[in-house]
Structure 1
Amino acid sequence: MKKLITKGILIGAGLEFLVKFAIFLSSEISRKPKFDEPRMDCLGGLQYVIFIIIAILAVLISLPAYLNLYPKVRNSKWLSFLTFFALHLVYFVLCLPLIWEKYSSYLDFLALTPCVFWIVWVITYWRIRKISN
């Protein structure tokens, strides 16, 4: 079970970073620079750093899932659900006002939330519940 949780965290974080990297590259390729203007980009790598920070944050808020190694938590459906998703729900709720206030497109929403990680995390949760039953 420990290997399954670790594999879910690592696969989710890796896929999250790769998808966001692909989104960033596709937006950069579609924006063609003009040859007249100088290319002065002081914060050129900031997007990569933000993607890495969001992937690391997704990993850190997933660590309570290791509490499922204890039989008392593993046997309770609600405690198991809370160890997997409580901090993710808090992160999502804290991001909602920021997203509604500043951003208007869905692409910005996908950039701020680890959606791919959450999909992998739900699959990992269902596999753990299947094993524990």
Structure 2
Amino acid sequence: EILRVVNLVRARSGVAMPALQTTNPAGNGYVAPTQVELRKRIRNERRVELCFEEHRFYDVRRWKEGETTFNGPVTGMKITQTSPTTFTYTRFTVDNRVFVPRNYLYPISQNELNRAPKLGQNAGY
């Protein structure tokens, strides 16, 4: 059922997205993905569907995947025109990002801590 719904969302976008497979390659039955596989598909679908709406950073933090997703180099692309119809693409490192567990939470402001002394600061701040 969930794959049917995901495929409906893909079809409504007006973009030619391939349907998620709902039958096995032999065509003789439904392929029920495991919970892990289905979660991975749904998260990727969310990544594609909301790619320019600034949800990814918060999704990754909510899913507690920041240490694997956000650690490492961030790359850019230098595009050079070598002829009227030809371009070369050179990848370069813009920054080396570090994501540590404390980045899952924001610090609580001092004003809030003063108002509620028993509250306590988030770990790492």
TM norm structure 2: 0.22
Choose 1 or 2 for highest CA Rg. 2
Bigger relative contact order (CA 8 A; separation at least 6): 1
More helix by share: 1
